Amino acid sequence: MGTIFTSIIILSLCAFVQANQKPEFTNYCKRIEQEIQGRKHGFLAGNLAYYVGGFHASWKLFEDETLGLTHPFYHDLRGRGASLLKSKIRGNQNTGKGNDFLSWEFYKDTRVLYGSVIVNGETYQHPKPTSMRWRPDKIVCEYEVAGVRLTEEKFIAASDAAASIIRSSKPVTLQFSGHSFYTRNSASSTASLKHDEKNKALIISEGGTMKARPDPNRPERVGPSIYDGMSTVIGASRKFAKTLLTKKDEKGVQHYAFSIPCDDKGTIVSWAMHDEEVQALQSATKIIQNHQSLLSEKTAEMNRLLNDEIPHFRCPDEKFVDIYYYLWSLYLMYHIEVGKGWELEGHTQTAVNNFLGLHRYDAAFQIKVGAWMSDKRKFAYGNVLTWKYLTKNNHFRESPNGSRLISDNKGIAWHSGAYGPETSEHVLGAWQIYEHTGDIKFLRDAYEDHFETLFYKRITGFAMNDFEVAEILEEMASILGKKDDVKHWQTLIRRDPKHIRLMFDQRWESNGVPNYFGAPKNKMLMD
């Protein structure tokens, strides 16, 4: 997903409005609203919570969205997949606790609140929307069921609770069903369920084990579920005690179903997860009680960010203006702040349709995009500095030639164990942030115990950037007063113009591939 943000960089070459020509306040949430039914699944983001409506994989529709909350999920980067196993690799390539190569898209197996509509005694199961409109603040769905029109707004509040607000043109009954956390890679479930009648809520204590593969090229093992010990709360704005049905199946999975009335006054259902049951219950009930104000706050905040936190952009072709603000809205939605373990720096995320996190390759682009944010300390610094926790804890792979490579993804206490060279491009992005801020402390934080350590023996070039990276590392060392480092970077890579020209000439149309740079011997071309 990170490569799409190169579009933002390309668009930056167009004519931005001048600072004294700031456009009037724009409702960008409304402006970039788009119809997505049948085209892609819905996506919403909080801080540690996300929502996927339906499931659309590799451009193929697998599941239509329906009434309720189909796939909300909690993801604070405690794990990469759906298990919390510890690595068995010895030394600095130990992947920690939480890496998993099996269950990146675990959310698609969840069933939280799947809605059906009962009209005149007949049940219409999981109707698909006639329209599903995505906005960065909410998803708006419309349904036509047996002559009844239903509208629905889904959103995630600042508390990370999710809600669905449903209104019906005529009185109907809504029937919802779901089950505790269990996926295709689950091995067991120890979940328990209780009904909190006073708060009109179901409380699930999640538990169980999962099959996982925490280490590359190692066998599968079974370990704790990523949600083991967490609480899920399902809330409703109307009582459902008389219609509630629960069942524990042979695998230990807790199933539930209940019915509630709906009319033009509206009915709300909610979802929240947390390590503390009290906190999850509070979030799930509060979003129902204050649904309108919390949704308004979400809209206002997204509009504030798009109006005030990014460079203003206008051009004659309105299509490119819409694309520009759409891409920025994703960047802002992907921002996460965890504050635990190796996740002390807020940063953007990528690959939102599998295991999230910030990828090493994608960060090469995200870092440069963040350099244009107004509040760079919040929205840009972390894209560089979050990787420092791997380097300073010696979680890298060192080759005999001295190159040190870090993993492509990381979380609170894990890294992927899939190594590559793109981190050298992070140096160029960090320098761009420094050029925009003049922040010496940021530069020192990025250089010391990270760039200085990672590239001291050898600069692992990415797309022939090693000459420029060496030059920038020399500049950084000079600004930070590290005279010995300056001399080191000057001699690490040969940088005379004749040599640089030779290196590029050798790679252009290499191995007989015309009009291509750096083709391999087998002539297989990759994007």
pTM: 0.92
Residue 104 in this model has a pLDDT that exceeds 90: no
pLDDT over threshold 90, residue 353: no
**At 3, which amino acid appears?**
T
pLDDT over threshold 50, residue 14 = no
* Percentage with pLDDT > 70 across the chain: 95
Read off the pLDDT of residues 44-57 as tens digits, 9 standing for 90 and up.
999 999 999 998 88
Structure tokens at 430: 């960090």
Distance CA 361, CA 31 (A): 31
Could you give the CA distance from residue 152 to residue 53 in angstroms, rounded to a whole number? 12
Residues sharing a CB contact under 8 Å with residue 426, sequence separation 6 or more, in sequence order = 363, 364, 367, 384, 387, 451
Averaged pLDDT, 372-376: 97
The whole-number pLDDT of residue 2 equals: 45
**Residue 289: partners with Cβ closer than 8 Å, 6 or more residues away:** none
Please report which confidence band the pLDDT of residue 404 belongs to, taking 50, 70 and 90 as the band edges: very high
Kindly list the structural domains of the chain, giving each domain's residue range(s) and its CATH number in brackets, ordered by start.
33-290 (2.70.98), 318-495 (no CATH)
SS3 479: helix
Read off the pLDDT of residues 194-251 as tens digits, 9 standing for 90 and up.
Answer: 999 999 999 999 999 999 999 988 999 999 999 999 999 999 999 999 999 999 999 9
What strand order describes the sheet that includes 208-212? 186-189, 208-212, 221-224
Structure-derived torsion over alpha carbons of residues 118, 241, 238, 43, reported in degrees to the nearest 10: -70
- Mean pLDDT to the nearest integer, 254-273: 98
Q: What is the pLDDT of residues 114-161, one digit of tens each?
A: 999 999 999 999 999 999 999 999 999 999 999 999 999 999 999 999
Which residue pairs from 183-188 have beta carbons closer than 8 angstroms and sit at least 24 positions apart in sequence?
183/82, 183/103, 183/106, 183/109, 183/110, 183/210, 184/109, 185/82, 185/83, 185/102, 185/103, 185/106, 185/210, 185/211, 185/212, 186/82, 186/210, 186/211, 186/225, 186/251, 187/211, 187/222, 188/251, 188/252
Give pLDDT, residue 60. 87
Pair 423, 362: CB distance under 8 Å: no
